[in-house]
């Protein structure tokens, strides 16, 4: 059975190529749902016009799909609620010089 911990461990290895902080610590992962080993990740990006939109969402999908036991992996990019820097972890803020 696939667990949320497994999914989040993989997501900690996913990055926006322009930002040296993983997507989880950036606060871009809004939800992870697992139903019968089918994983659905709900996430956002730092900006609507992000040029790496396709790359990032496909990276998330393919990394999650490679977790042993995952039957399917889907990524849904949403814009509500909008992302803002308050969603970042303290470690991410420190790494980016914001805290």
Q: How many domains does the chain have?
A: 1
User: What is the C-alpha separation between 27 and 19, in angstroms, rounded?
Assistant: 13
In a domain, 99, yes or no: no
For residue 29, the domain's CATH number is 3.30.300.130
Kindly state whether residue 92 falls inside one of the protein's structural domains.
Answer: no
Q: Would you say residue 95 lies in a domain?
A: no
C-alpha–C-alpha distance, residues 42 and 17, integer Å: 19
Which tens digit of pLDDT belongs to each residue from 13-72? 999 998 999 999 999 999 999 999 999 999 999 988 888 899 999 999 999 999 999 999
**Residue 25: CB atoms within 10 Å:** 21
Total-model pTM: 0.93
């Amino acid at each position: 059975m696939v667990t949320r911990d497994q999914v989040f461990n993989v997501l900690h290895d996913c990055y926006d190529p322009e930002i040296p902080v993983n997507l989880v610590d950036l606060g871009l992962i809004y939800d992870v749902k697992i139903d019968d080993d089918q994983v659905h990740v709900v996430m956002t990006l730092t900006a609507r016009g992000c040029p790496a939109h396709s790359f990032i969402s496909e990276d998330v999908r393919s990394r999650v799909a490679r977790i042993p036991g995952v039957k399917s992996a889907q990524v849904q990019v949403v814009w509500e609620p909008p992302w803002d820097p308050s969603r970042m972890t303290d470690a991410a803020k420190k790494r980016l010089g914001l805290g």
